[in-house]
Amino acid sequence: MDCAGGNETHTDESRDYLMATKAKRVLILGGGFGGIYAALKLEKLLRRHDDLEVTLVTRDNYFLFTPMLPEVAAGELEQNTIVNPLRKLLRRVKSFVGTIEAIDLNARHVIVSHGLDGHIHELPYDQLIVALGARTNFFDLPGVEASCLTLKTLGDAIAVRNQLITDLEEANSECAAGERQPLLTFIVAGGGFAGVETLGGINDFVREAIRFYPNLHPDYLRFVLVTPDELILPELNRKLGIYAQRKLTMRGVEIITGAKVSAISGGIVKLTSGEKIQANTLIWSAGSAPNPLIAKLSVPKCNGRIVVDAYLGVEGWPGLWAVGDCASVRSSRAGGFYPPTAQHAMREGKLVACNVAATLYGGQKKPFRYRTLGQVAAIGRRTGVASILGVNFSGFVAWWLWRTIYLCKLPRLEKKVRIALDWTLDLCFAKDFACVTTPPGESKRAASMVRVPDELVSRDESASNSISAVS
């Protein structure tokens, strides 16, 4: 009986080993909108397939809801309300927190480093979903990358808020009486959704805060938005762009159109128009570029992004898929390619998960077809602009739509409740102006490498783009 029992145990172990070796392994690279929604869809499929092993590889152990980053920078939301820990969000899909070093398409594995010593793992796959997002593009402009702040990560939002408060504190001191103008000049480069929402938020934040600084006056403040276009928000129709531009101008924002930032030197921001502005703070939202890992892949590309077919697969590479900012998805309905927005990445992620399952278990793959529902943007002081299904909204109604839509799309009830409470309290109390100071000698951009309390850790990452779009 002992021998029989031993054989039975051996048989069970052998069966487990065989199941592990025969498991269909799916790797998802990137924890932005495309990667997370692919993982959430595959999470449901795991209930029916014991031999399916799905792993999400990302640098952060949380999903960041990037459209709300400007509200964190402007002090309207606490930093932990817009992040969802992966271990709460995904119960069946495995998560591997590390840095993706290389993708070997021929050997069908991904090389990832992690841990304090940066040791290497080789993660094999049968199906690979690439959702690596985009990185900030500084266009190799002199001094820009070293001097500016960005708003792509949670750490960036905290760094922006700290910079605003630090400038106010410095300008309020008696010894800064002759140097207040550069400290109180804030420039945002880029007139798209991210730039306009960021400027609207920080304009409200600083103007509300300045009444607590006895040596400062609102007339000292200067907010500048630089855009190469004729109007801000070129993604929307002209009427809404004119409305948003007029509202921001009425609130003391200086909008410079038809110009770009060309360089930063000695605290002076130089524009292509020849104008020079002395400013201590420049926030960059003027461009994005594909993840550098994509450039190393020998696959078809268009403008640095992976070209995929109607099913989001890469032609000539079975088992390789791409979604989100790193994929060029052709639109059969409108012509050209779908824009790299959150609403498209979410639906691409869900569809690619279904097509992966159809490939592994048999079934009909579905092409990606989607009509953009619309786009919304908040411009400060509880006003916004929106175009939804061809209908234009502006003012308070558009701002209310902005908050309602994103609150509905935010994962998990717990986070929805926390954000609703934060918004409610913001109506009753003034914002906090506490600053987590940067150690002496540390650069502005290094300030984005901060630690987030509780269960989350923030790292500088080019995740999903900060986008205002109806999902």
- The vertex-10 CA angle with 7 and 13, nearest 5°, equals 155
3-state secondary structure of 51: coil
Q: How many residues does the chain have?
A: 471
Looking at residue 437, its pLDDT comes to 57
Higher confidence at residue 231 or residue 174? 231
pLDDT for the residue 457: 38
Average confidence (pLDDT) over 216-231? 96
> Which secondary-structure segment (H or E) carries 167?
helix 154-172
Q: pTM (2 decimals)?
A: 0.86
pLDDT of 229 reads 95
Q: How far apart are CA 197 and CA 467, in angstroms?
A: 10
Please report the beta strands in 46-173, taking only residues with DSSP state E, as ranges in sequence order. 52-58, 62-64, 83-85, 94-97, 99-104, 109-114, 119-124, 127-130, 134-136, 149-150
Section 309-334 average pLDDT: 92
Model confidence at 20: pLDDT above 70: no
Residue 8 has pLDDT above 90, yes or no: no
Residue 455 pLDDT > 80: no
* Helix, coil or strand: residue 385: strand
> What is the CB neighbour count within 10 angstroms for residue 440?
5
* C-alpha distances out from residue 262 to 178, 355, 409, Å: 27, 45, 37
**DSSP codes of every residue in 198-230:** HHHHHHHHHHHHGGG-TT--GGG-EEEEEESSS
